[in-house]
Structure 1
Amino acid sequence: MTPRRRTSPVKEAPVHPIIVVPFESDTSPALLSRLGHLDVPERWHAVDRSAHAPHIVAVPGDEDDATDWTGAALVSARPGTAYLKIVDAVGDVQAAVAAVVAHARDQGLAQVKWEGWTASSEDAAAAGFNPLRAPLTPTDDATGPATGDATGLAPGDTAGPATGYVRWLHETMVSEPPYYGQTTHFTCGAVTALLAQAHAGTLSPDALDRRAELTLWRDATNFLACEPVGLGVAVRRAWPSTPVTVHLDVDRPVMLDHLPDSEQEWRALLQRESRTQAADIGVPVDARHLSLAAIRAALGRQEHVLLLVSLAAMQGFDVPHWVLCHGVVPGAVVIEDPWASAAAGDTWVDAHLLPVADASLDEMATVSADRFRGAVSIGHVPGPSS
């Protein structure tokens, strides 16, 4: 395919020509190896990244030869999101990264991330990137998605980089929670609740571990998934002084359509019991549709929103999955996703501080064949200095 050449204005750096070309299975390792880091082409081709629109952003050395590059970066991103991720930058690293930043600005994106496979902290700082907090789970412990018996998928085998970096492309400040990846198929709801409390300062990050993950899941589960009312009840029980509201715009059991009738019946009974418990302990169940504007307003009040989404757009399979909404930037909501897809080259760097475009998140949050919206909002508890 013929590379596409253009020039992008970048305020903080000189204007450079930029080449953008799709990254495909036959992208020449020899071409890339000339730029250094002989291990990089092997890593780039080690997984099928095609679901995340991989492409190379390069800086040409000779304007008459589109294949003569002085620097290049492999870039990808989850669909429906508002960021680009640099897997590696090779050759003239600073020029390549500046080209990616210009490329992201051209698309109106909120953020560029950089995986730390070959990036040094010095190079990242020089390019305007800040270090991401290291994940609290070991990078080789990431697991399969979301809702267990709803997915039928095996745990993943991701081994992400030990470090990662981020550069926001706007002046909005986004507070960074700790990152913790779920260690089972089915504990995403519990993990997002724990992350919300750690971000709020209600829970020490040191207490965010597998014991806490499984303990909260055990109180919230509808076997094996966590449905909205049961999750809200479990959060209130774990933190009695924390304001909790469940948002569920249907008055029926949910997340059961994948099961045979005999399996649906007893889980439906448990969901009805969760509603009784919610009434008993004072957890309101709001039956109104939770709009994206309402989510943004809640985040503006320093609340956290545990949001049930479908992974169809971001990962290619339509299963319900809990994410944590914790910040907003122009045009996007910032989430924590406790799961990453190793098979697509996805790592914790993608899943952490992830901006999702407003329209995309609105569509993702209309879940499954049931076409419902479920969420749990956790109120802000003012501290002594608030």
Structure 2
Amino acid sequence: MSSPQETSVKSIVVPFESGTVPAPLGRLGQREVVERWHAVDRSAYDPHLVAVPSDDGEGWVAAALVTARPHTDYLKIVDAIGDVPAAVEAVVAHARGRELAQVKWEGWTASPEVAAAAGFVPLSPPVTQSQDAAGPAGGYVRWLRGGVATEPPYYGQTTHFTCGAVTALVAQAHAGTLSRETLDRGAELTLWRDATNFPACEPVGLAVAVRRAWPSSPVTVHLDTDRPVLIDHHPEDEQEWRALLQRTSRADAGRIGVPIDPRHLTLNAIRDAVGRGEHVLLLVSLAGMQGFDVPHWVLCHGAVPGTVVIEDPWANTDTGDTWVDAHLLPVADASLDTMSTLSPLSPDRFHGAVVIGRPSPGGAATDSLGARAAKSGSPRSSSAA
């Protein structure tokens, strides 16, 4: 997108410390905004203030609270106060100086008119937010390096274990195979029930469930191990029956024509796939972005130079992370490659992905999952495997 011409802006960057309000910030007013900044522990997301000093250097005329998930390629403005356009201009310059791909802006206090004047476009409101989330109703984005052609709907998983199902559903909604109206909790739980290895969705079982739900969509699994996955943390007796289910999923894949490629899906291959209009469900660890080594499914759907754009169906609301972070989330190639290397309790590492190709024209079963979800009567919810 085109953006207004930027002028040089003098700014200072200072760490944001919970429970502490610098005197120049306090003099800007908007106490309720600053109190909200301190309401959660944001320390895991490099919180800092980007401030514009007054001409006399004695105070600030504007300030913004800025955060970002670790190992990602963006900055997020939580709020800007004082001379808001000046604060936002300073943040954009700060992001450019760090050669980042994107700046986001949570819509707590930002108006659409002010955001548009600063070169931001609105994000589509979330269909639902992840379980127990409390993010803003709206948000904005400004790309500094490339951008994405079309925006998927954002759907936050409504349980702690349905990330695989949600990524598949969002992929199909983005492809036009599933209508936004049928993207709801009924569809989420229906697909999870077909794909689960109790409670996680492993790659082969997820791919089989997707193929069964949408026969017109070609599906390929990339899994560089023959052993059962995502079961190491279970007691040995529970690993055995989950392993049996995974062997059954492999047999089902052979019967219905889902190929299993034993090679690691590289970042170049992911870029090629999304460039062709395909969608990649990628299994990652949350250790880098969230600080705990839990396997989790994300959706790769776009790319800009040096960075892949993903949808993450989960946000850690207790730390100030919201759907605005998780939606259209740019992750640099090297960081995403590290995240996609899973290290189970055993010494073997592995990589897992499911590639959903573009549906064939006139596919007969386009709405099969939505119809099944509606028939099941599963409730809708407004709210990681």
- 2:70 is the counterpart of 1:79: yes
Aligned match for 2:351, one of 362, 365, 373:
373
- 8 Å Cα contact 2:279-2:301 kept in structure 1: yes
| Separation of aligned partners in 1, 2:51 and 2:76 | 14
| Separation of aligned partners in 1, 2:316 and 2:8 | 35
Aligned match for 1:110, one of 84, 94, 101:
101
- 8 Å Cα contact 1:113-1:165 kept in structure 2: yes
| Separation of aligned partners in 2, 1:176 and 1:207 | 17
- Residue of structure 1 equivalent to 2:79: 88
For residues 300-333 of structure 1, what are the alpha-carbon distances to aligned partners after superposition, in whole Å with 9 as ceiling and x for unaligned? Answer: 1110000000000000000100000000011110
- 2:330 is the counterpart of 1:355: yes
TM-score relative to the length of structure 1:
0.90
SS in 1 for 2:31: coil
- Residue of structure 2 equivalent to 1:208: 183
- State the 1:26 CA deviation: 4.1
Aligned match for 1:37, one of 23, 30, 34:
30
SS in 1 for 2:54: strand
Distance 1:173 1:259, change over 3 A: closer
- Residue of structure 2 equivalent to 1:18: 11
Higher relative CO (Cα under 8 Å, sequence separation at least 6) belongs to 2
For residues 77-128 of structure 1, what are the alpha-carbon distances to aligned partners after superposition, in whole Å with 9 as ceiling and x for unaligned? Answer: 0001000000000000000000000000111100000000010111101101
- Residue of structure 2 equivalent to 1:55: 48
- 8 Å Cα contact 1:335-1:352 kept in structure 2: yes
Distance 1:204 1:373, change over 3 A: same
- Residue of structure 2 equivalent to 1:314: 289
- 2:166 is the counterpart of 1:188: no
Matches within 5 A, 1:215-234: 215-234=190-209
- Residue of structure 1 equivalent to 2:309: 334
What residue identity is the alignment partner of 1:213? Answer: E
For residues 225-263 of structure 1, what are the alpha-carbon distances to aligned partners after superposition, in whole Å with 9 as ceiling and x for unaligned? Answer: 000000000000000010000110001100111111011
For residues 352-372 of structure 1, what are the alpha-carbon distances to aligned partners after superposition, in whole Å with 9 as ceiling and x for unaligned? Answer: 000011100000000132411
- State the 1:14 CA deviation: 2.1
- State the 1:11 CA deviation: 8.1
| Separation of aligned partners in 2, 1:118 and 1:12 | 24
- 8 Å Cα contact 2:13-2:48 kept in structure 1: yes
Distance 1:191 1:11, change over 3 A: closer
SS in 2 for 1:39: helix
- Residue of structure 2 equivalent to 1:243: 218
- Residue of structure 2 equivalent to 1:159: 134
- 2:93 is the counterpart of 1:135: no
What residue identity is the alignment partner of 2:123? Answer: L
- 8 Å Cα contact 2:300-2:310 kept in structure 1: yes
Ranges of 4+ aligned residues in structure 1 off by more than 4 Å = none
- 8 Å Cα contact 1:29-1:41 kept in structure 2: no
- 8 Å Cα contact 2:216-2:360 kept in structure 1: no
SS in 2 for 1:295: helix
SS in 2 for 1:124: helix
Distance 1:164 1:172, change over 3 A: closer
| Separation of aligned partners in 2, 1:208 and 1:173 | 21
- 8 Å Cα contact 1:35-1:70 kept in structure 2: yes
TM-score relative to the length of structure 2:
0.90
- State the 1:281 CA deviation: 0.2
Unaligned runs of at least 5 residues, structure 1: 1-9, 144-156
- State the 1:63 CA deviation: 5.2
SS in 1 for 2:81: strand
| Separation of aligned partners in 2, 1:288 and 1:307 | 14
Unaligned runs of at least 5 residues, structure 2: 363-385
- Residue of structure 2 equivalent to 1:99: 90
| Separation of aligned partners in 1, 2:135 and 2:148 | 26
What residue identity is the alignment partner of 1:374? Answer: G
Q: Count how many residue pairs are aligned between Structure 1 and Structure 2.
A: 357
For residues 157-178 of structure 1, what are the alpha-carbon distances to aligned partners after superposition, in whole Å with 9 as ceiling and x for unaligned? Answer: 3210001000001244442100
- 8 Å Cα contact 2:162-2:188 kept in structure 1: yes
- 8 Å Cα contact 1:72-1:96 kept in structure 2: yes
- State the 1:339 CA deviation: 0.2
What residue identity is the alignment partner of 1:297? Answer: D
For residues 49-96 of structure 1, what are the alpha-carbon distances to aligned partners after superposition, in whole Å with 9 as ceiling and x for unaligned? Answer: 00000000011013543xx11010000000010000000000000000
What residue identity is the alignment partner of 1:89? Answer: A
Distance 1:63 1:265, change over 3 A: farther
